[in-house]
Amino acid sequence: MGTFNHKAVITQIPPLPGVYRFVDSGGAPLYVGKAANLKKRVTSYFQKTRLSPRIRLMLTVVHNVEVTVTASDNAALLLENNLIKSLKPKYNILFRDDKSYPFLRLTRQPYAQVLHYRGVAGDDDCFGPFPDSDAVRKTIDMIQRLFRLRTCADTVFANRTRPCLLYGIGRCSAPCVNRITPAHYASDVASARALLTGDSRTVERDLRTRMEKAAEEEDFERAAVLRDRLRALAVLRERHFVDDRKTPNADYVGACCDEHGACVNVVMVRGGRRVGERRFFPVHAAGATESEVLAAFIAQHYGSTSPPKIVLSHRPTSLPLPLASAVIRSPRGESKMRAQQAATNARLALALQRSHQLAAADKMQALADRLTLAKVPRRIECFDISHSMGEEPVASRVVFVDGAAQTAEYRRYKIAAAGGDDCAAMHEAVRRCYRRAVSENAVLPDLLIIDGGVGQVRAAQAALQEVPTTIFLLGVAKGAARKAGEETLIMADGEVMQLPPDDPALHLLQAVRDEAHRFAVDGHRKRRDKKRRVSTLEDIEGVGPQLRRRLLQHFGGLRGLKAAGEGELIKIEGVGVQMARRIYHFFHE
């Protein structure tokens, strides 16, 4: 237990709810936890004999315990969640995905709007959380096909004078121009709300009743629309819906652990429909049990979210009190089977990740051997330049650590050098990147790859000498036929070599180079397309961003604005007689 006098510290800890932090001799946090009774919880660490190896190791370096008292268990849960994510303690099981889950939002306006949402929705109805934005978009598409609810912004909705394209393709009922009665639209909203809560039977029954009523009233056009919706609903349920009426909104969470790490697999069901799954690989989880990992996952990912039912594959070691009622710890029947399937998928994902890691380790070792490096290059960075005949040049930098892409560390650089000069662009990008890295004492790469020939390599070498820093530099140039496997490797000293097409070291270099190229091309295309999409309105004297926005919103786009007369233009705030005449003549001369 080291030299830490835990008895003296524990006497000062109150028996109140809060958060505790074990810290080392330098004050760095080792572990963050929460407790309904801080005194009992901290005491238990020094009384229990059956602690995990990870916690036993932590206790050997503990120098002090810091506590923060909170008003309630719920407040302790939220504080613990925030501290774990901000401090990243060494001995906590950490889940790095810190993005908030997306929701589907259905507003409570007279003509309700359905939209993708993150954050607090106020009084509106929110359905979710969903695993990712794509799942939300697909669900919105389903709602549009079945119920034709609007998705447009309120400003657009209030200023429409004719239906938009969505009405023409059968995705919106055009309430903006009164193509549907408020009563019928309200019925569609109610049906959408019922479907999103998993009550598809009620939706089917309501659609059938409305269809029969429309037929009796000889409104055959509306009856045909409702008939098509019934057919679409039947197909949707057959393809996507699960038979679980007890828990139409649930997360099935499975975990798997081995001596190297852990994986948590979450299968999300919303409205009785499986909308996707996500997998998480926590750090500091080697040697942990499934129960420990699930306890950490629930606390960190549901701390500030009102969750649906959570069905677990293993009993967690502990549960936050605010979430205890949502967690099904001993599932049965279909729920148990789905939780076990989630755990099986977690085991497969963990094995696959391990095989990728081993393959990457072999490739990095092969690369070190081929380049006669003193150590295996665990951190590799690569630069590439992209432009179109000198237009909008962009430099990219990608980062790989242990063979895995670190997308959060990717960067793009807007190049000020003359367009078309790849060597000057490479010099500028490398100099800017590593001058900042050295000044901020950031981690430098073990190997820097330049996608290009001798000229780009020399430009990068000159930039590194200006910083200055010593990084092993390697150029990867495409062969004469620009075929994969014929690349030429260029050293900083001018030495040139080629590797066999089946060499694992070459495969690693190709993967890193191709990712840098993809990232550079994507960045260049976005900048180029954005520049080319700039509205011609900016060429009109006196039309600034705010007036341009008002004009486009009022007329529904550039086409509607071109068709407007001077009398219609004058009605817009900020448009006088002279400005209206100027805008009109700009489009009609």
DSSP 113: B
Q: Helices 200-216 and 220-240 sit at what angle, rounded to 10 degrees?
A: 160
* Model confidence at 577: pLDDT above 90: no
* Across 13-23, average pLDDT: 89
- CA geometry: angle at 148 spanning 143 and 151, to 5°? 80
The structure tokens listed for 392 are: 């909008």
pLDDT at residue number 236: 60
Domain ranges of the chain: 6-87, 110-240, 250-352, 379-530, 536-588
* Model confidence at 14: pLDDT above 90: no
Residue percentage of the chain with pLDDT more than 70: 91
CATH code, 379-530: 3.30.420.340
Convert the pLDDT of each residue in 293-310 to its tens digit. 998 888 888 765 656 788
* Model confidence at 3: pLDDT above 60: no
**pTM for the predicted model, two decimal places:** 0.58
- CA geometry: angle at 244 spanning 196 and 293, to 5°? 95
Q: What are the Cα distances from residue 480, in Å, to 485, 486, 487, 488? A: 11, 8, 9, 10
Convert the pLDDT of each residue in 311-361 to its tens digit. 999 988 887 777 777 888 788 877 888 888 889 888 888 887 887 788 888
The reply to whether domains 379-530 and 536-588 share a CATH topology is: no
CATH code, 6-87: 3.40.1440.10
Convert the pLDDT of each residue in 513-525 to its tens digit. 999 999 999 988 8
Q: Which CATH number among 1.10.150.20, 3.30.565.10, 3.30.1520.10, 3.40.50.1390 corresponds to the domain 536-588?
A: 1.10.150.20
pLDDT at residue number 1: 47
Q: How far, in Å, CA of 162 to CA of 164, rounded?
A: 7
Cis preceding linkage at 468, omega within 30: yes
Residue with tokens 């959570």: 310
Q: Which helix H or strand E contains 235, and what residues bound it?
A: helix 220-240
How many other β-carbons are positioned within 10 Å of the β-carbon of residue 563? 10
The answer to whether the CB of 37 falls within 8 A of the CB of 15 is: yes
Q: How far, in Å, CA of 403 to CA of 367, rounded?
A: 11
The answer to whether the CB of 297 falls within 8 A of the CB of 323 is: no
Convert the pLDDT of each residue in 180-211 to its tens digit. 999 989 988 988 888 777 677 778 888 888 88
Closest CA relative to residue 508, chosen from 407, 369, 351 = 369
What 33-36 contacts at long range (C-beta under 8 Å, 24+ apart), as own/partner pairs, is 33/80, 34/73, 34/76, 34/77, 34/79, 34/80, 34/299, 34/320, 35/76, 36/73, 36/76, 36/321
Q: What are the Cα distances from residue 583, in Å, to 155, 539, 571, 586, 589? A: 22, 10, 13, 5, 10
The answer to whether the CB of 30 falls within 8 A of the CB of 20 is: no
CA dihedral 188, 193, 196, 201 (to 10 degrees): -70
